[in-house]
Amino acid sequence: MLRPMSEKWDRRFIALARHIAEWSKDPSTKVGCVVVGPDREIRSTGFNGFPRGIDDTPERLNNRALKYPLVCHAEENAIMHAARTGISLKGCSAYVTWPPCTRCARSLVQAGVSEVMYPAELQIPDRWREDFEISSSMLDEAGVRSREVPDA
């Protein structure tokens, strides 16, 4: 069973996710993810970037047609890292700097994550609002709690 975290710890993990987001190779989608176990131990982290082994040359970074089909989202990178290292994410909490898209929501459900937290009062642009609503309902239907973490 998940031990509830205090708002102080929630804010710390969101701050860490924001720091990790700065490592993103794609400046237009700086998203970070920290997956935390029941005893506040960090199980995995991820940020938006290219899958391991992809050559991120300046041509690839600046060409949308080459770049976006290969970008892995922060949540998926965290899940892949955990899988490569044999770490279970079942029952864990995922702290992300941006609410997960439908693709990432599905991946989080499949990985067994129990809770998703993201910063409060984010301004979701209209072009992403429908995807955000769909991913929220996917998480709800799977029994994954999602909530906002207030800023300090």
DSSP track, 30-68: --EEEEE-TTS-EEEEEESBPPTT----HHHHH-HHHHG
pLDDT in the model for residue 135: 95
pLDDT in the model for residue 111: 96
pLDDT in the model for residue 48: 87
Is there a catalytic annotation at residue 141? no
Rounded to whole angstroms, how far apart are CA atoms 45 and 135?
21
pLDDT in the model for residue 2: 46
Amino acid in position 42: I
pLDDT in the model for residue 30: 84
pLDDT in the model for residue 1: 42
Rounded to whole angstroms, how far apart are CA atoms 120 and 140?
18
pLDDT in the model for residue 57: 66
Residue of 7, 75, 121, 148 marked active site: 75
Q: What is the pLDDT of residues 35-74, one digit of tens each?
A: 999 889 999 999 987 655 555 566 666 665 655 555 688 9
pLDDT in the model for residue 63: 65
Low-confidence ranges of the chain (pLDDT < 70): 1-5, 25-28, 50-71, 152
pLDDT in the model for residue 6: 81
Q: By the 8 A CB rule, do 12 and 34 touch?
A: no
